[in-house]
Amino acid sequence: MSVMQQPSATGEYIIYRQRRGVELVLTLIACAFGVVGWIVSYLNLRGAPPGDLIPGTLIWFGMALAAHFVIRWRIPYADPVILPIVFLLNGLGLAMIARLDNAKNTHAATNQLLWTGLGIMLFAAVVIWLLDHRRLQRFPYLLFLAGMGLLLLPLVPGVGRELNGARIWIGLGPFSFQPAEVAKILLALAFAAYFYEKRDLLALAGRRFIGLEFPRARDLGPIAVMWFLSLGIMVFQNDLGTALLFFGLFTFMIYVATQRPAWPILAGVAFVIAGLLAWRFTSHVPRRVNSWLNPFSDYDANYQIIQAQFGYAWGGLFGRGWGQGSPWLTPMNESDFIAASLAEEIGVVGMMAIVLLYGFIVARGMKTALICPDGFGKLLAGGLAFTFALQVFSIIGGITRLLPLTGLTTPFMSQGGSSLIANWMIIGILLVISHRARMPQRATATPQELMTPAQSTAVIAK
């Protein structure tokens, strides 16, 4: 069958190379960073390398090779940069958790490695089963119902568990799982499918009010109900961080689908109103705002954020070195505040490098959205990348006191299986979309598939 390459915005055809060899080399180098951090921390703490160095290293590199060969087999045109960056971040998180295990005499790194293996298995399942993301755009309501079911699970008596004032967990034997992490993927798929299907009606049919264009209620109503229900459940469960992600995801997708400036304006107004209501009617939001603006006003209540600031200060620009700091003094040092633990030992410069790595993932996700020939893929890739960026900005901003704390995790680095599994699945979806965008296009492709990025964006804007 004859093929043709993805056309550029200028009408010229771009020939995308597979670059799987580049991905393999970068992935092996990325894995080495995590192993080196693990070894150096043990040498500084105990004067000897880890006792399980050889089996641990073989397992870690084996996982990386397995993920790479799944990509090489099923989606050879996928973006070659995303996987190495993910393994670099995941490896640094594992090395820091193992370093903290030394100080606290725990075995959290072993569990985290098991969760990583499960995440990679689900990543492989997504790549092998999905292959073409457009198969999912036919089921917006089914995806929404599945996502709502997951969100409601923690409220089921005997199943849900409450931790730190938030009922967002379910029990799985000796383990606990946060179903909202997987629900956000299903809701992202549902939003993208609905907005793609109704893009013309949402953009063209409607009325003007106070100078802004609004779609008809019958077109916006179903997705608005989905959105309000998901937000309401998150607020009821006291999980405002995840509610913020849903809010941002909805706003981003409806703006991209319609190109109407009314939505970011309304979202900003709604965010301010919601913040004022949360300040007035909840107890934990005022505490978090106070710990953000004036943490030393109550040393006991704000001990966590104060210790994180001390860790940043002691680490300085270049850090104390692996195993040379005292990151265990900060509560929740291996989960919510793992960024503060890393900053103490690799410094502000090291944390800036980590933020840049997250930025690369977001940039590659947005590039995938730009070059994707179908509107559903554009919305989905852009929405997932934006949500990823919003999560990183919220958690790192909270730890550095740029923002109030949100209780979100640092993707791929924080201890916890729920977030790790969900983020590996998101990476699988992004790589599937990038494969479809970069692969040679069929000469018999539909006009929508052969449309240039500029033309496709114009179609979404209609």
Residue scoring higher pLDDT (91 or 271): 91
The residues, any chain, with a CB within 8 Å of residue 420's CB and separated by 6 or more, are: 90, 112, 115, 116, 119, 412, 414
In a domain, 4, yes or no: no
In a domain, 353, yes or no: yes
The residues, any chain, with a CB within 8 Å of residue 253's CB and separated by 6 or more, are: 188, 191, 192, 195, 379, 382, 383
How many other β-carbons are positioned within 10 Å of the β-carbon of residue 21? 11
pLDDT at position 62: 97
Cβ(372)–Cβ(378) under 8 Å? Answer: yes
Q: Please check the confidence at residue 274 and state whether its pLDDT lies above 50.
A: yes
Mean pLDDT of 180-206: 83
Cβ(231)–Cβ(243) under 8 Å? Answer: yes
Domain total for the chain? 1
In a domain, 105, yes or no: no
In a domain, 126, yes or no: no
Give the highest mean pLDDT range of 6-10, 83-87, 143-147, 245-249.
83-87
In a domain, 218, yes or no: yes
Residue type at 178 in one-letter notation: Q
132: left (phi over 0), alpha (psi -120 to 50) or beta: beta
Distance in angstroms (rounded) separating the CA atoms of residues 381 and 360: 14
Residue type at 422 in one-letter notation: A
Mean pLDDT of 268-293: 83
Distance in angstroms (rounded) separating the CA atoms of residues 158 and 215: 42
Nearest to 433 by CA among 385, 399, 390: 385
Q: Please check the confidence at residue 301 and state whether its pLDDT lies above 50.
A: yes
How many other β-carbons are positioned within 10 Å of the β-carbon of residue 293? 10
Mean pLDDT of 291-313: 90
Q: What angle do CA 185, 187, 191 make, to 5 degrees?
A: 120
Give the highest mean pLDDT range of 42-51, 69-78, 168-177, 188-197.
69-78
pLDDT tens, residue by residue, 383-428: 999 999 999 999 999 999 999 888 788 999 999 889 999 999 999 9
Mean pLDDT of 152-174: 77
In a domain, 421, yes or no: yes
Q: What is the mean pLDDT of the chain?
A: 85
Nearest to 435 by CA among 364, 359, 356: 364
pLDDT tens, residue by residue, 208-236: 665 566 666 666 777 777 777 777 777 77
The residues, any chain, with a CB within 8 Å of residue 315's CB and separated by 6 or more, are: 325, 343, 344, 345, 346, 347, 348
pLDDT tens, residue by residue, 364-383: 999 999 999 899 999 999 99
pLDDT at position 171: 77
Cβ(418)–Cβ(411) under 8 Å? Answer: no
Q: Please check the confidence at residue 453 and state whether its pLDDT lies above 50.
A: no
- What percentage of the chain reaches a pLDDT higher than 90? 50
- Which range of residues forms the domain containing residue 400? 135-439
In a domain, 27, yes or no: no
Residue type at 34 in one-letter notation: G
pLDDT tens, residue by residue, 258-272: 888 878 888 888 888
pLDDT tens, residue by residue, 203-214: 665 666 655 666
In a domain, 45, yes or no: no
pLDDT at position 460: 38
The residues, any chain, with a CB within 8 Å of residue 177's CB and separated by 6 or more, are: 169, 170, 417, 418
